[in-house]
Every structure is written in structure tokens, then in C-alpha cells.
Amino acid sequence: MVRASARYVRVAPRKARLVADQVRGLTVPQARTLLEFSARGASREIAKLIASAAANAENNHELVAEDLRIADIHVDEGPTLKRWRARARGRATRIEKRTSHVSVALTPTD
């Protein structure tokens, strides 16, 4: 099993989980194709992570990227950046910029 993780990704976990659920169980080429044409913002970050995991498999374990399947991908919540936005009548509201920790595990297809 080959693993890769991306921490402090500037995508909300709820939005990243939608993309992660789409690619879970797919082969690496299928996932790359799906993410390439996905309009969601998190798809770019998850595509980079899958490419990194595939490169880890090729360089460290001498596996072929086309023969790998996404066995596990999960998104955890990272720290939240808190920002303030000026509003009417001298008030301010809090803007929360959420981050994610994304982990992926690849296994060879049988």
C-alpha cells in the first residue's frame, strides 16, 4: 500500500469530501480523467495528491501507476483561518477560511 498526504489544503473539507467520494475505488488513470474534467475546486488539489502517490509508488516501490487503485482516500478538517469583513453600521462579521488534510492510499489492482 502506497500512501501520500496533503496537509493544510485551502479547500473546505465538506467540498473536498464530495470529490474524494467520486474517486474512491477507481484506478489511477480513471481518477485522473475524472478530476481533469471536474469543475470543482478541490479536484485540482486531489489530482495533485494522486499524482504524488503514483510517483511514490513508481520511485519507491517500483510499481506501475496504471496498475494502481485508490483503496482509501479521506479528508479531515484542518485549522480554520478567521478573518473579519466590514459590514454596515460599523459592524463586522467573521469569515472562516477552512483548510483540509487529505490522505490517499493506493494498492495494486489484482
Q: Which of 88, 83, 87, 57 is nearest to 70 (CA)?
A: 57
Q: Which of 36, 12, 1 is nearest to 22 (CA)?
A: 36
Instruction: Give, as one character, the DSSP assignment of residue 109.
Output: -
Residue range 101-105: mean pLDDT, rounded: 98
- pLDDT at position 85: 98
Write down the domain spans for the chain: 2-108
| CATH fold for the domain made of 2-108 | Ribosomal Protein L22; Chain A (3.90.470)
Give the C-alpha separation, 84 to 92, whole Å: 6
The tens digit of pLDDT for each residue in 1-55 reads 999 999 999 999 999 999 999 999 999 999 999 999 999 999 999 999 999 999 9
